[in-house]
């Protein structure tokens, strides 16, 4: 009976995750490639918020580079074949993607908050060079907080490459756990604050029904929606695992059902690279207008082809 349960647990993430991650990779790759091309093509018209969005794309590139190795890992029933060094680098890149995505989402929301709530604040006059310095500072903090993953052996004796679920917790791994939890709840508070403040300010000015006002609110709400949908499942299962561990239950075993649930919940985290283009549409007129022109062009071509087909059929 026990062996059947273990076998079922082993199949949980190895059967569910590979097809899900493949779909996320195939969705995220063209969306972010197009975003890179659009932002790069329109560099002369960049503003600070576009700078933050461009860095959000760069963080997704780290995920897209790492995801094929995680897919291979799950296809082999979580047997890592690429060695300890690449295990550390791979998990480091995944963690940096998560932290950087959260940081730049929050930066975009704050940019929208200051433009609406404090339109005369000095932050709104930040030029592109200063925005670049802010972006570099964010990257520096993110990399510094995630560097402990490079200094710890993350490959267990059973060839499982994981940053969570270790029996012996070093200082670096403990820091990783703390960052993993706090980088969700602290930005979430800020995002909710920005959303409520923008809505209240627009309502007091009676601009909440205007086009620009609605767009500002939608931008922050979309960010909050993507943020919670992608990052809450792994945080919730992670906290539940810590609770079980505090009760004296061993959840570090890769065959444990909770361990499988946590790994499966990470699929939502990886989904952020596929959903981030939705944020680009709401946050950047450059990206939105390009996408609109492309769709209109495709629609026009389709109508033209249909018209020619009808004419040809009429002549026949």
pLDDT of residue 199: 86
Q: Do residues 193 and 292 share a domain?
A: no
The predicted model gives 163-169 an average pLDDT of: 72
Range of the domain at 114: 2-283
pLDDT of residue 2: 37
Q: Do residues 32 and 147 share a domain?
A: yes
What sign does the dihedral 199-200-206-212 (CA atoms) show?
A: negative
Q: Distance (Å, rounded) from C-alpha 55 to C-alpha 268? A: 21
Q: Do residues 122 and 67 share a domain?
A: yes
Q: Do residues 240 and 99 share a domain?
A: yes
Q: Do residues 162 and 250 share a domain?
A: yes
Specify the number of domains making up the chain: 2
The predicted model gives 27-47 an average pLDDT of: 86
| Of residues 117 and 167, more confidently modeled | 117
Whether pLDDT at 23 is above 80: yes
Q: Which residue has the tokens 């959840």?
A: 251
pLDDT in tens, 176-195: 889 999 999 999 999 999 99
pLDDT of residue 304: 47
pLDDT of residue 256: 64
Contacts 24+ apart (CB under 8 A), 7-12: 9/255, 9/256, 9/257, 9/259, 9/260, 10/77, 10/78, 10/255, 10/260, 12/257, 12/260, 12/261, 12/264
Q: Do residues 184 and 308 share a domain?
A: no
| Of residues 121 and 300, more confidently modeled | 121
Q: Do residues 190 and 144 share a domain?
A: yes
| Of residues 156 and 70, more confidently modeled | 70
pLDDT of residue 4: 42
Contacts of 306 (CB under 8 A, 6+ apart): none
Q: Do residues 198 and 307 share a domain?
A: no
Q: Do residues 146 and 105 share a domain?
A: yes
Q: Do residues 311 and 277 share a domain?
A: no
Q: Do residues 124 and 218 share a domain?
A: yes
Q: Distance (Å, rounded) from C-alpha 34 to C-alpha 26? A: 13
Q: Do residues 88 and 172 share a domain?
A: yes
Q: List the CATH number of the domain containing 149.
A: 1.20.1070.10
């Amino acid at each position: 009976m026990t062996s059947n349960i273990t076998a079922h647990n082993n199949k949980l993430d190895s059967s569910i995750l590979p097809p899900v991650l493949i779909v996320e990779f195939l969705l995220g790759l063209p969306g972010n490639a197009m975003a890179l091309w659009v932002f790069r093509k329109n560099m002369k018209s960049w503003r600070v918020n576009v700078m933050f969005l461009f860095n959000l794309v760069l963080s997704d590139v780290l995920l897209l580079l790492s995801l094929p190795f995680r897919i291979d890992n799950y296809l082999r029933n979580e047997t890592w074949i690429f060695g300890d060094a690449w295990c550390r680098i791979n998990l480091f890149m995944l963690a940096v993607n998560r932290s950087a995505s959260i940081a730049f989402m929050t930066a975009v929301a704050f940019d929208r908050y200051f433009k609406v709530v404090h339109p005369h604040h000095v932050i709104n006059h930040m030029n592109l060079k200063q925005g670049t310095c802010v972006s570099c500072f964010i990257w520096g903090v993110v990399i510094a907080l995630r560097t402990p993953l490079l200094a710890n052996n993350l490959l267990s004796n059973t060839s499982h490459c994981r940053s969570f679920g270790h029996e012996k917790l070093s200082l670096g791994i403990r820091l990783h756990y703390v960052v993993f939890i706090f980088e969700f709840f602290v930005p979430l508070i800020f995002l909710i604050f920005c959303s409520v403040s923008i809505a209240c300010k627009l309502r007091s000015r009676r601009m909440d029904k205007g086009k620009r006002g609605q767009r500002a609110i939608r931008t922050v709400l979309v960010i909050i929606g993507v943020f919670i949908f992608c990052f809450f499942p792994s945080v919730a299962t992670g906290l539940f695992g810590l609770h079980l561990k505090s009760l004296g239950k061993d959840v570090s075993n890769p065959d444990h059902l909770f361990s499988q649930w946590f790994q499966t919940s990470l699929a939502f985290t990886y989904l952020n690279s596929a959903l981030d283009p939705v944020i680009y549409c709401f946050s950047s007129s450059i990206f939105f207008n390009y996408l609109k022109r492309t769709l209109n062009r495709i629609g026009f071509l389709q109508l033209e082809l249909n018209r020619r087909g009808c004419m040809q059929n009429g002549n026949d």
